Amino acid sequence: MLRFARLLFFAAIFPPTLALAQTRPIVLKASTVLDGKGHTLFNTIIVVEGTKIANVGGAAPAGAITYDLTGLTITPGWIDTHSHLYWHFNNGRLAGKDEPPTQAILHAAENAVLTLNAGFTTIQSPGSPEDKDLRDAIARGIIPGPRILTSLEPLTEQSGPPEKLRELVRERKQQGADFIKLFASKSIREGGAQTMTDAQLQAACGEAKSLGLRTIVHAHSAESAKAATLAGCTSIEHGAYVTDEVFDLMANHGTYYDPNIGLVLQNYLDNKEKFLGIGNYNEQGFAFMEKGKSIVLDTFKRALKHPDLKIIYGTDAVAGAHGRNAEEFIVRVRDGGQDPMAALLSATSLSAESLSLGNVTGSIAPGMDADIIAFDGNPLQDVTAARRVLFVMKAGKVFVNRLQESSSHSAR
Ligand SMILES: [Zn+2]
């Protein structure tokens, strides 16, 4: 009882962020490590000190806390470069503006927990002003969730002429945006034609670059993707109708391609009754989304034929999809024919690089943040293993530890 009282006392005087700082080193015993850079390490240890990976394969320090992850497959925490963490259902329908803000933020926090528990330790949210408080609360360590990068409110062709767009880019930076999200085309349901002019794209992406901000651009048609690429924007999102000529252009410019082929359309169709009748979610739109699945799959297969094209890992997760972000990996490999190692690199180091976090996360190496997850099974050999995350560490703190649930593990 006295001990319990003392614990309460310590919990009261030390704020949670301090409690997170792990003073004892952690050792992860591993039989298989996919390091996120294309290497596979066998029978080694990963030493974590504080929030960082101290070394891989070195000696275990004295007094370390050890997690035995042998029998599992260890990878860096996965990254979703396009997740709408704020989108959620309330009472079985897509939540809208009439929802009380207290309910909205708690649903968003729930999505953050689901996403982290699925092994995604970093996400990029292309646009919701409410992201900022959630991002900051997670960064303070008071809510479990992935590291969040957000654009806050996106910009569109209606945001104003080029000079106004430059001003809005500066304003977003002031407001705390991590990057800029632009809508350069219509939705896939409306054909995806270019909406922002070339001059608007040049102004927005040029201004962002001069401020050190990345730009991610919703662009479906080849014309809109081409214009964004020539304007020096960082990545093309969706790109359902991008041609081979424009894929070559993107590869030459180092423009990232973020197809979303494995989760978003499937999720809309699975949850049709929760969206139907809201905004442009009508029967016609759903009929198109059914066809859209094969359109985006074919485009993805063509993209794979451009070896220099940097294909990153975004799902476009909306309400109902959070926590199932690994479905994208399964569809890319199983249906798209992507090499499983390439798909893994896309979800780890390549996406980290695209977020300018290549020296922070996305690989298992000394000095990197200790974002480390483990699967029951090897996703490179059995794609469905991507659904079986048994261990999640983010920045040195263990959030998920379901080791006893591993059949292969306990058999050893
Ligand atoms: Zn989106």
Q: How far is the CA of 154 from the centre of ligand 1 (A)?
A: 11
Q: How far is the CA of 126 from the centre of ligand 1 (A)?
A: 6
DSSP, collapsed to helix, strand or coil, labels residue 52 as strand
Q: How far is the CA of 237 from the centre of ligand 1 (A)?
A: 8
Stated pTM of the model: 0.93
Provide the token pair at 380.
């490179």
Bridge partners for 29 per DSSP: 45, 68
Q: How far is the CA of 401 from the centre of ligand 1 (A)?
A: 31
Exposed (0-12), middle (13-18) or buried (19+): which is 342, by Cβ within 10 Å? middle
Mean pLDDT within 255-262: 98
Nearby residues for ligand 1 (ion, Cβ within 5 Å): 316
What pLDDT score does 373 carry?
A: 98
Q: How far is the CA of 313 from the centre of ligand 1 (A)?
A: 13
How far apart (Å, rounded) are the C-alpha atoms in residues 121 and 392?
Answer: 8
Q: How far is the CA of 341 from the centre of ligand 1 (A)?
A: 25
Q: How far is the CA of 240 from the centre of ligand 1 (A)?
A: 13
How far apart (Å, rounded) are the C-alpha atoms in residues 222 and 238?
Answer: 11
* All residues at 6 or more sequence positions from 218 whose CB lies less than 8 Å from its CB, including other chains: 126, 154, 181, 182, 183, 184, 185, 237, 238
What pLDDT score does 190 carry?
A: 81
Q: How far is the CA of 343 from the centre of ligand 1 (A)?
A: 20
Q: How far is the CA of 222 from the centre of ligand 1 (A)?
A: 18
Mean pLDDT of the chain: 93
Q: How far is the CA of 382 from the centre of ligand 1 (A)?
A: 28
User: Residue 290: in which H helix or E strand, if any?
Assistant: helix 283-304
- pLDDT tens digit sequence for 286-343: 999 999 999 999 999 999 999 999 999 999 999 999 999 999 999 999 999 999 999 9
Q: How far is the CA of 45 from the centre of ligand 1 (A)?
A: 38
What pLDDT score does 188 carry?
A: 83
Percent of the chain predicted with pLDDT > 70? 93
How far apart (Å, rounded) are the C-alpha atoms in residues 82 and 368?
Answer: 22
Q: How far is the CA of 239 from the centre of ligand 1 (A)?
A: 12
410 pLDDT tier (thresholds 50, 70, 90): very low
Mean pLDDT within 128-155: 96
Q: How many residues appear in the chain?
A: 412
What pLDDT score does 406 carry?
A: 60
What pLDDT score does 189 carry?
A: 75
Q: How far is the CA of 368 from the centre of ligand 1 (A)?
A: 29
Q: How far is the CA of 335 from the centre of ligand 1 (A)?
A: 22
Q: How far is the CA of 145 from the centre of ligand 1 (A)?
A: 19
Q: Which residue has the higher pLDDT, 128 or 262?
A: 262
DSSP, collapsed to helix, strand or coil, labels residue 254 as coil
Q: How far is the CA of 50 from the centre of ligand 1 (A)?
A: 34
Q: How far is the CA of 149 from the centre of ligand 1 (A)?
A: 14
407 pLDDT tier (thresholds 50, 70, 90): low
How far apart (Å, rounded) are the C-alpha atoms in residues 283 and 178?
Answer: 36
Q: How far is the CA of 44 from the centre of ligand 1 (A)?
A: 39
178 pLDDT tier (thresholds 50, 70, 90): very high
How far apart (Å, rounded) are the C-alpha atoms in residues 235 and 408?
Answer: 40
Q: How far is the CA of 353 from the centre of ligand 1 (A)?
A: 20
For β-strands 147-150 and 179-183, DSSP reports them as: unpaired
* All residues at 6 or more sequence positions from 86 whose CB lies less than 8 Å from its CB, including other chains: 104, 108, 111, 125, 128, 130, 131, 134
How far apart (Å, rounded) are the C-alpha atoms in residues 82 and 219?
Answer: 14
Q: How far is the CA of 127 from the centre of ligand 1 (A)?
A: 8
Provide the token pair at 402.
């379901």
Q: How far is the CA of 318 from the centre of ligand 1 (A)?
A: 8
* Nearest partner of 272 among 256, 288, 258, 254, judged by Cα: 288
State yes or no: pLDDT of 235 exceeds 70: yes
Q: How far is the CA of 207 from the centre of ligand 1 (A)?
A: 22
- pLDDT tens digit sequence for 268-285: 999 999 999 998 899 998
What pLDDT score does 341 carry?
A: 98
Q: How far is the CA of 83 from the centre of ligand 1 (A)?
A: 7
Residue found under tokens 């070896």: 307
Mean pLDDT within 222-231: 98
Separation in Å, CA 204 to CA 124, 233, 323: 19, 9, 32
Mean pLDDT within 216-242: 98
Q: How far is the CA of 183 from the centre of ligand 1 (A)?
A: 10
Mean pLDDT within 212-241: 98
Q: How far is the CA of 235 from the centre of ligand 1 (A)?
A: 13
Q: How far is the CA of 232 from the centre of ligand 1 (A)?
A: 20
How far apart (Å, rounded) are the C-alpha atoms in residues 263 and 322?
Answer: 10
Q: How far is the CA of 82 from the centre of ligand 1 (A)?
A: 6
Q: How far is the CA of 189 from the centre of ligand 1 (A)?
A: 13
User: CA end-to-end span of the chain, whole Å?
Assistant: 38
